[in-house]
Chains A and B, each alone.
Chain A
């Protein structure tokens, strides 16, 4: 296979470069190999330039997917498509096909539909009110489940999919360009391109997606949008709300198990407390605007209530005592 049209040193460089690129992209490289690879990339600018070049080639090759000549040449004769020679096909059709093909790569080859014939085992995870859990999935992704959450996860060779039924979860999705990670809720879906994001079920019909790192695509109704780091959007069956800054601090803080408030109105603080407590509390509406700073953990959350009551000389009530509604 070696050619002699170039200096052997050059061939060797290309071999080495191609070896590492295909190795890492095969998905079978060990963690140890990857570490070594990454270290070399960081320390050897020539190598990293070459690897970037390889990635560029790999991308351009994909762009050639819509090229009839290339497709004909790379397809097994028995499987050759009859449409190769249809040069008269309108440009629009070609563009649509090219677009669809590229889209397919990003979205992965198979999108999962509930009830589809080959469905891998679904794993269910739940947390009680006041409980949090961290789940490590087989693909390397990590899920943080907040209080009162119910979620189902399915991983297959072609896709990764989760359905969030209630509560709130943060998804730290391991990058895998071949298998998108999709999170469905009652009213829409969030599609991930390797990133960290949070979804909170607001009620039966609405959810809030916040991106902590990278970006995601959110689809609801017949609308879709791209959401990037520190952005958040609320959606329901009718579609998407407008994009707002995400409350990344709040999300990061629940990951640590300690919920912090920095100069927040009592109303917000109690909403947050109620998320973690089976017994829901409220204060007289006149006091809702009083601001307070502090923190609580899931274990000592009632100390927060005591602190608030002491600090302001007011009482909180539980819902059973609430005079109206």
Chain B
């Protein structure tokens, strides 16, 4: 598809991505309230954007770029004037340096790395990761399904995430 997405399509993608985005914002900011506010700002900026977005992946990449810029901005404000959680959307707007092409590329690159990392996991770890992420099971459910302890499930999940994280360090040009 070479035409850019319509407003309602963008809105739909936003709804779909908002869980992930909010989680991202929460883990970046350490505040549920701030993350809800910034999520809203992400939406406003997506709605206002004149950026032609051709696909869902491009849109997600764009949304994450917006989120990253907003996080950066929030940190800057926290350090310069303490706890001011009201974010100045206008300032954030200026920092928005037309992201899509490089950002989308970066997104595809990360996606490849994460995929490679998952495929490289030891079997048990991989299965547990799948049950958690794709079957949406809780730790206790996974433990009983595989007849192992909850503690082991927790440990394997840490291992899985650490492994993916390590896979992302460094290699920039691979694949």
> Which of A15-23, A122-130, A147-155, A312-320 lines the interface with chain B?
A15-23
Residues of A within 8 Å of B14, CB to CB, are 226
Contact of A6 among B37, B64, B129, B169 (CB under 8 A): B169
Query: Considering the complex, which residues of chain A in the window 78-136 have a beta carbon less than 8 Å from any beta carbon of chain B?
Result: 99, 102-103, 105-106, 109
Residues of B within 8 Å of A311, CB to CB, are none
> Are A56 and B43 also in contact (CB < 8 A) when A22-B161, A38-B30 are?
no
CB-based contact A14/B166 at 8 Å: yes
CA distance A284 to B145 in the complex (A): 71
CA distance A65 to B18 in the complex (A): 17
Residues of B within 8 Å of A19, CB to CB, are 158
Shortest A59–chain B CB gap in Å is 4
**What DSSP secondary structure best describes chain A's contact surface?**
helix
Number of chain B residues close to chain A: CB under 8 A:
63
> Are A69 and B115 also in contact (CB < 8 A) when A106-B16, A193-B19 are?
yes
In the assembled complex, B11 has its CB within 8 A of some CB on chain A: yes
CB-based contact A22/B154 at 8 Å: yes
Residues of A within 8 Å of B37, CB to CB, are 213
Contact of A228 among B28, B44, B165 (CB under 8 A): B44
Shortest A83–chain B CB gap in Å is 14
In the assembled complex, A303 has its CB within 8 A of some CB on chain B: no
In the assembled complex, B53 has its CB within 8 A of some CB on chain A: no
Residues of B within 8 Å of A309, CB to CB, are none
> Are A69 and B31 also in contact (CB < 8 A) when A60-B114, A62-B133 are?
no
> Are A177 and B166 also in contact (CB < 8 A) when A45-B75, A52-B71, A70-B115 are?
no
Query: Considering the complex, which residues of chain B in the window 97-138 have a beta carbon less than 8 Å from any beta carbon of chain A?
Result: 107, 110-111, 114-115, 118-119, 122, 125-127, 129-131, 133-134, 136, 138
In the assembled complex, B149 has its CB within 8 A of some CB on chain A: no
Residues of B within 8 Å of A75, CB to CB, are 127, 130, 134
CA distance A54 to B158 in the complex (A): 11
Residues in A lying within 8 Å of B, measured CB to CB: 1, 3, 5-6, 10-11, 14-15, 17-19, 21-28, 37-42, 45, 48-65, 67, 69-71, 73-76, 99, 102-103, 105-106, 109, 175, 177-178, 193-195, 213-215, 217, 225-226, 228-229
